[in-house]
Amino acid sequence: MSEREGTFCLVLHSHLPWLAHHGNWPVGEEWLYQAWAHSYLPIAGLLRRFADEGRRDVLTLGVTPVLAAQLDDPYCLRGLHDWLGHWQLRAQHAAALWQGRPELAELAAAEHRAATTALGEFENRWRHGFSPILRSFVDSDVIELVGGPLTHPFQPLLDERVRTFALRGGLADTALRTGHRPAGIWAPECGYAPGMEHGYAAAGVHRFLVDGPSLRGDTAAARTVGESDVVCFGRDLDVTYRVWSPKAGYPGHAAYRDFHTWAHEVGLKPSRVTGKHIAPADKAPYEPALAADTVRVHVKDFVDTVVARLRALRAQHGRESLVVAAYDTELFGHWWHEGPAWLEGVLRALPEAGVRVTTLRGAVGAGHVGGPVELQASSWGSGKDWRVWDGEQVADMVQANAGLQQRLLAVRSSRAHRDRIADQLVTEAMLALSSDWAFMVTKDSAADYARRRARVHTERFDELAALHRSGDPAAAQRAAEFRTLTQPFGHLDARALG
């Protein structure tokens, strides 16, 4: 094709809260290991294939510091290794249990092959954690890596001093792990408050994501924010929602593997979606060949959607335009079993359709930057405002977090040397301020677990702070005990908060 249709950017946001040593099933460590096995391993695999082919600027990948810490943590690495071995054993048990049922026996065999492949991949490439792998992707320019604040807090609700500390600490953590300090971030929950661009500029952040409605749907180019040189990109919801929206999307197709239906005796998912209102016991068996055919249909549909959107934007604006589609990484593989195959298919098919596939950095380089815009308070949550993290259902948590921040800012540590007690105090406060807890409560998704997690970290902070203030020698021992359970950031220095 002599003329390019336009530019497409895929942005993936990889994030889970700190889960190690905080329960197992269904939202503790099991959550981490499922996402690791079914999303992070296959996504790393497809990026390696693109790198080996010499592809550059394939996608923009966000990895939050708190997730990166878990993917490098020796305890979590051992835990995943065990989990992958148990996956093999569960598949073997399923093969024996399902003898005489050919469709399920074949599924068990496929599960065993997948588990064996994942275990081999992990043992051969992940032995030293994710950071060496991630660094190779950054070094080869197959991705643009974007970062974020330490523990994924909802930034608009933070005291400015806490917000600055969390952001700069998160960028420093990514630089320590990969050798590259990100120039872009995925702001947690795409949360924005007017004026935050100045903090971004001061921290060396040049670009960030907002949701499409923040730009009133005008997402055909990035925009500078206010009087700053910081650029924001808006998700194109017309395209993004084709895959996944609050109400619909490809993963709900009848042929795809059903996320919610378990064969609990073997811990596998044997069914396809079949229909929205079909009881789990009545769902049809999963058929990989049928699912693969459907993936091909949905790859073509998405490519056609992107091309049609770019042509419409060109007709509207009179120039080559931009489409940004952005998703949680965990959608691909963990929530949507066929997601990684779909993703690779799309990233191969779009260039063949005449679409430039690049990163946010590449889009800036290609000239997709418009004039300044004044952004309003926003997020990518329900209502596109702050209600998920600042609504009536979580008003008590918002109040508790505001109080915690004030107590955190009152912590005093030695200016001459590291204070490991103060460092642990800051760590516990950062974990309590994770945006995940309010989200889970508002959405009634493991709300009890979320409230407990916020409370546990706040209580640890208060206990340790009281011992620290009084000079009690027990403070050092208590801080050490907490560190054995929760120390995502060994470099975190409380002095940077003061």
Known catalytic residue at 189:
yes
Distance, CA of 156 to CA of 390 (rounded, Å): 10
What average pLDDT does range 26-38 have in this prediction? 96
Instruction: Provide the pLDDT for residue 245.
Output: 86
Q: What are phi and psi of 357, to 5 degrees?
A: -105, 125
pLDDT exceeds cutoff 80 at 228 = yes
Q: For residues 471 and 467, what is the distance between their CA atoms, to the nearest angstrom? A: 6
| Neighbour count for residue 209 (Cβ, 10 Å) | 24
CA angle 299/60/172 to nearest 5° reads 155
Residue 416 has a pLDDT of 75
Round to the nearest angstrom and report the end-to-end CA distance of the chain. Answer: 57
Go through the domains of the chain in sequence order and give each one's CATH number.
Answer: 6-373 (3.20.110.10), 391-497 (1.20.1430.10)
Burial label for 109, CB within 10 Å (0-12, 13-18, 19+), is: middle
**pTM across the whole model:** 0.96
Residue found under tokens 């001459």: 416
For position 1, what pLDDT does the model report? 42
Please name the residues in contact with 281: beta carbons below 8 A apart, sequence gap of 6 or more.
none
Burial class (CB in 10 A: 0-12, 13-18, 19+), 406: exposed
Report angle CA 276, 277, 281 to the nearest 5 degrees. Answer: 105
What is the C-alpha to C-alpha distance for residues 429 and 405, in angstroms, rounded to an integer? 8
Per DSSP bridges, beta strands 59-63 and 143-146 are parallel
- CB-based contact 434:66 (threshold 8 Å): yes
Which helix or strand (DSSP H or E) is residue 7 part of? strand 6-14
**Which is catalytic among the residues 236, 328, 338, 428?**
328
Average pLDDT for the chain:
96
User: What does the pLDDT look like over 347-363, one tens digit per residue?
Assistant: 999 999 999 999 999 99
Of 4-8, 56-60, 103-107, the range with the lowest mean pLDDT is 103-107
Determine which of 49-53, 246-250, 322-326, 449-453 has the lowest per-residue pLDDT on average. Answer: 246-250
Q: What's the pLDDT at 308? A: 98
Residue 88 above 90 pLDDT? Answer: yes
d(CA 266, CA 115): 14
pLDDT in tens, 239-298: 999 999 888 899 999 999 999 999 999 999 999 999 989 999 999 999 999 999 999 999
Which residues have CB under 8 Å from 457's CB, separation 6+? 428, 429, 431, 432, 486
Q: Quick check: 115 and 122 in contact, CB under 8 A?
A: no
Over residues 457-492, the pLDDT tens digits come to: 999 999 999 999 999 999 999 999 999 999 999 999
pLDDT band for 2, please (50, 70, 90 cuts): very low
β pairing state of 355-358 and 59-63: unpaired
Confidence of residue 346 (pLDDT cuts 50, 70, 90): very high
How far apart are the C-alpha atoms of 285 and 289, rounded to whole Å? 12
Q: What is the DSSP letter of 9?
A: E
Of 5, 57, 173, 189, the catalytic one is 189
Greatest CA separation for the chain? 74
The pLDDT value recorded for residue 253 is 97
Is-cis flag, bond preceding 473, omega within 30? no
Q: What is the DSSP string of 414-462?
A: -SSS--HHHHHHHHHHHHHTBHHHHHHHHTTSSHHHHHHHHHHHHHHHH
Could you tell me what percent of the chain has a pLDDT over 70?
Answer: 99
Q: How far apart are CA 333 and CA 150, in angstroms?
A: 25
Between CA 449 and CA 31 the distance in angstroms is 13
Please name which of 145, 146, 141, 167 lies closest in space to residue 155, comparing C-alpha atoms. 167
Burial of residue 155 (CB within 10 Å: 0-12, 13-18, 19+) is: buried
For the segment 127-174, what is each residue's pLDDT rounded down to a tens digit? Answer: 999 999 999 999 999 999 999 999 999 999 999 999 999 999 999 999
Pairing of strands 322-328, 369-373: unpaired
Q: Does the annotation mark 159 as catalytic?
A: no
pLDDT (0 to 100) of residue 266: 93
